[in-house]
Amino acid sequence: MIKKFEKESMYEPNPKWETAISRIEKLYKPIYDNGTMRTEFDRDYTRVINCNAYRRLKNKTQVFFAPKNDHICTRIEHVNLVASISNTISNFLGLNSQLTAAIAVAHDIGHSPFGHQGEKILSEIAEREYGSKFWHGRNGLHLVDDLELLSDNAGIKRNLNLTYAVRDGIVAHCGNPNPKGIKPRKEAIDLKEFTDSNKFAPYTWEACVVKIADNISYLGRDLEDAKEMKLLTDRDINNIDKSIKMIRINNSSIIGYLINDLCNNSTIEDGLKFSDEALEVIKKINKFNTEKIYKNERIQPTIRYFTVVINEIFYMLKSAYNGTSTTKSVRRMKRYYPYLSEEFSNWLERYSNSDDRDDYCNKIIYDLNDIKEYCRAIIDYLSGMTDQYIIRIYNEIVSF
């Protein structure tokens, strides 16, 4: 196995090492581990897969909403596919596979319900209400830094407090890699400077691997699912075959071909890159998937439904605004909307300067004196929902 990136891997001799393993706060020591059993990135991996936000990915749309077929890809399967692809690449190139694993399982943790369409709808509301875009990379960083909680050795709930390298990998994974090659940036920056997806390159080679693996992972899988859902036929897929001579168009062949091409064509000098032939394959499959799957008329009714569901819940909660007494207003909705009232009032108590805040010791995120901050709280609440959960909330609002 050719480990041609080994000298750039994120291990202790790397000059970026201390920054890469740094955390916002010092992480508590495990009871039964003297520090030698797990690396910092191993600890991040286990913190992610044990948090509720990761668990919810199993009920979040990847491409197809509410499929009755159990074999259709959901968001949690997607992140595990990315982890598998990342592991193969990082091992072959000699990079730190513990770091790629941690980034991969966390990279989509900030995704909204209803997939990219849900993300688009939330962004439209966020731009209108408080002048900021919503995108899942930045939301993922916000979630692991501010919202998601795990119990420590004393049973106190604390934020995930991940390493800089993993947090960077989450916020930097969005967007298409530069076809001429992707290299990590040299400087450690405040990650809140990521005001747009793809604004900066990732900080580590390992995060660059995950960014590319993310783009590899869905090409063939979306084709496979579309065929299973009767949006595509063998004849449709064979039409792509005619213009792509080097591989058979199925999920395994696409992944194997692109991993092999990437590993053979990447160098430290040029970065992680594909051959011109592989780039042409990616371009053709992406074009086909966009036209035949993502813009398929069969998908459009669900998009209109998502718009109604998300906006209705948002406006219902916004109507309850009453400054720092908003939590009381939300609780008064219990007569008609008991589940929504209970769940969202608890959310406000946990994260805002609500008058009802008593037993929480985590940091305050939302100032309820500012309606824009309250709208941000609603968006954060909605973004964490699964497809099933948000539909339950919507049905409670519209049903008698």
C-alpha distances (whole Å) from 205 to each of 14, 245, 257 are: 12, 31, 21
Q: How far apart (Å, rounded) are the C-alpha atoms in residues 176 and 193? A: 19
Between helix 115-130 and helix 371-383 the angle, nearest 10°, is 180
Instruction: Report CA torsion sign: 199, 201, 207, 209.
Output: positive
Take residue 129 and report the two structure tokens written for it.
């209400």
Break the chain into its structural domains and give their ranges. Answer: 8-109+148-294, 300-398
8 A C-beta contact, residue 220 and residue 252: yes
If phi > 0 it is left, if psi is from -120 to 50 it is alpha, else beta; for residue 316 that is alpha
Residue 359: its pLDDT value, please?
54
Q: How far apart (Å, rounded) are the C-alpha atoms in residues 395 and 266? A: 51
Q: How far apart (Å, rounded) are the C-alpha atoms in residues 207 and 211? A: 6
Q: What is the pTM of this model?
A: 0.95
Give which of 143, 172, 173, 174 is closest to 160, Cα–Cα. Answer: 143
Q: How far apart (Å, rounded) are the C-alpha atoms in residues 256 and 184? A: 24
Residue 358: its pLDDT value, please?
56
pLDDT in tens, the chain (400 residues): 679 999 999 999 999 999 999 999 988 877 776 667 889 999 999 999 999 999 999 999 999 886 678 889 999 999 999 999 999 999 999 999 999 999 999 999 999 999 999 999 999 999 999 999 999 999 999 999 999 988 888 888 888 999 999 999 999 999 888 888 999 999 999 999 999 888 999 999 999 999 999 999 999 999 999 999 999 998 888 888 666 766 778 899 999 999 999 999 999 999 999 999 999 999 999 999 999 999 999 989 999 999 999 999 999 999 999 998 999 999 999 999 999 999 999 999 889 887 665 555 567 899 999 999 999 999 999 999 999 999 999 999 999 8
Long-range contact pairs involving 340-344 (C-beta distance under 8 Å, separation at least 24): 340/313, 340/316, 340/393, 340/396, 340/397, 343/393, 344/317, 344/381
Domain 8-109+148-294 has CATH 1.10.10.1100: no
Q: How far apart (Å, rounded) are the C-alpha atoms in residues 360 and 150? A: 14
Q: How far apart (Å, rounded) are the C-alpha atoms in residues 97 and 207? A: 10
H or E element that contains 97: helix 97-106
Q: Tally helices (H) and strands (E) across the chain.
A: 17, 2
Give which of 349, 332, 350 is closest to 341, Cα–Cα. Answer: 332
Give which of 286, 274, 49 is closest to 178, Cα–Cα. Answer: 274
8 A C-beta contact, residue 136 and residue 197: no
3-state SS, residue 376: helix
Beta-carbon-side half-sphere exposure of residue 48 (alpha carbons within 13 Å): 32
